[in-house]
Amino acid sequence: MNSPPNQQRVMLVTGSRKGIGAYLSQYYADRGWHVAGCSRSPAEWGHPDYNHYQLDVGDETAVVAMFADIRKRYGRLDAAINNAGIATMNHVMLTPGATAERIFRTNTLGTFLIAREAAKLMVPRQTGRIVNFSTVAHPLNLEGEATYAASKAAVESLTRIMAREFSPWNITVNAIGPTPIDTDLIRGVPADKMARLIERLPNKRLGTFEEVSHVTNFFLAPESNCITGQILYLGGV
Amino acid sequence: MLELIVKSVQDILNLTDKKLAEGITADTPLVGAGRVVDSIGLVTLIVDVENRVAEHTNRPISLMDDRAMSQTRSPFRTVGTLAEYVQELIHADLKERS
């Protein structure tokens, strides 16, 4: 693992093994950040400015240990992107409790734990950026996505309240609500269901990774110091 | 440990330019009547102490665990009770690991 010089900005991206998380990690590592990423499995890619932690974001002990290592290794954290998330498409009457619990554990508890520990690392420098991930499935009340949308509705509530609670230390907390993007998260969704979902969007197409980094750039910018507690949906939702 | 807490409280007071008539001692209250930090200051103090202890012991420590929440008398009453509580947590952690 590489240790960045103290002046280098440090970012944490969860769910960085693949998909949007891998894209954002590489994107910011290419732009001068040192990126620490995590996922339950080893990373499928590498970068000189990237370190990978293997853990479950819903495991409090593992999350605290990761932040202890980040503190020791880098002594700072400038931004945290709470991208890790899992989904399932199923009717409520056909969804086992264990599945619902697993979704809330990763999406909601994971976001809470990462944001809490990130903020603690940001307090000494009195500045920081936290970006959470919501989804358009919440405002659109998509049938078949009850547990996923509900777990993200809770993320939105966390985002708004953490924005208020963290503001004394100039830590902003915002969320992006992307439209479906061609990643593993939606790969299991039948084509006809996806077509119906896309039809409900004002912008009737899948989203792109570049549209996501456009929004994260906005939230991370120094000029966005007073942009906090906001949920920004893509696709015109 | 008392020294570490006193230094942390002092650093937080310096941030707010608050001057105390008397120095910070074990009896300096952190909550309730005569407290020297407001609620945000107390959160900052707890996070700062966690960070300092982690640096000092190379072990992460959480001051706000179920034990702290369930105590009838808050361990955050004074600088001295906080120092005692942190010491207890470090001992418990060492015991658990041995």
Q: How confident is the model at residue B70 (pLDDT cuts 50, 70, 90)?
A: low
Residues in chain B within 8 Å Cβ distance of A68: 54, 59-60
pLDDT at site A50: 98
Q: Specify if A5 maps to a domain.
A: no
Q: With contact defined as beta carbons under 8 Å apart, do A78 and A118 qualify?
A: no
Q: Specify if A29 maps to a domain.
A: yes
The reply to whether B54 touches chain A by the CB within 8 Å rule is: yes
pLDDT at site A86: 94
pLDDT over 90 at B17, yes or no: no
Q: Which residues are registered as beta bridge partners of A11? A: A35, A79
| Contact (CB<8Å) B62/A71 | no
pLDDT over 70 at B75, yes or no: yes
Q: How confident is the model at residue A2 (pLDDT cuts 50, 70, 90)?
A: low
pLDDT digits 0-9 by tens, A189-230? 778 888 888 888 888 998 999 999 999 999 999 999 999 999
Give the Å distances, CA to CA, from A105 to A68, A98, B43, B88: 21, 10, 26, 31
Closest alpha carbon to A45 in A58, A30, A56, A65: A30
pLDDT digits 0-9 by tens, A71-130? 999 999 999 999 999 998 899 999 999 999 999 999 999 999 999 999 999 999 999 999
Which amino acid is located at A123 in the chain?
Answer: V
Q: Specify if A4 maps to a domain.
A: no
Q: How many domains does chain A have?
A: 1
pLDDT digits 0-9 by tens, A19-54? 999 999 999 999 999 999 999 999 989 999 999 999
Q: How far is A125 from chain B (nearest CA, A)?
A: 11
Q: How far is A166 from chain B (nearest CA, A)?
A: 10
Pick from A123, A162, A170 the residue to mutate for testing the B interface (most B CBs within 10 Å). A123
Domain ranges of chain B: 2-17+26-97
Q: Could you confirm whether A148 is annotated as catalytic?
A: yes
pLDDT digits 0-9 by tens, B18-61? 777 688 999 999 998 899 999 999 999 999 999 999 988 888 88
Q: Specify if A216 maps to a domain.
A: yes
pLDDT over 60 at B9, yes or no: yes
Global ipTM: 0.85
Q: Specify if A76 maps to a domain.
A: yes
Q: Cα separation of A170 and A61, whole Å?
A: 27
Strands (E), chain A: 10-14, 34-39, 50-54, 79-82, 128-133, 171-177, 231-233
pLDDT at site B81: 95
pLDDT over 80 at A5, yes or no: no
CATH number at residue A223: 3.40.50.720
Q: Specify if A80 maps to a domain.
A: yes
Parent domain of A120: 10-233
Domain over B2-17+26-97 is classified CATH 3.40.50.11270:
no
Q: List, as own/partner pairs, every contact residues A212-219 make where C-beta atoms lie below 8 angstroms and the sequence separation is at least 24, other chains included.
A: A212/A20, A212/A23, A212/A24, A212/A176, A212/A178, A212/A181, A213/A23, A213/A24, A213/A27, A215/A176, A216/A24, A216/A81, A216/A131, A216/A176, A219/A129, A219/A131, A219/A172, A219/A174, A219/A176
Catalytic residue, chosen from A23, A53, A148, A233, is A148
How much is the average pLDDT of A51-73?
96
Q: Residue B56: closest CA among chain A residues belongs to which residue?
A: A72
Closest alpha carbon to A231 in A217, A215, A220: A215
Q: How far is B75 from chain A (nearest CA, A)?
A: 20
pLDDT at site B55: 87
Q: How confident is the model at residue B66 (pLDDT cuts 50, 70, 90)?
A: confident
Q: Specify if A1 maps to a domain.
A: no
Residues in chain A within 8 Å Cβ distance of B96: none
How much is the average pLDDT of A183-189?
75
pLDDT at site B86: 94
Q: Residue A164: closest CA among chain B residues belongs to which residue?
A: B40
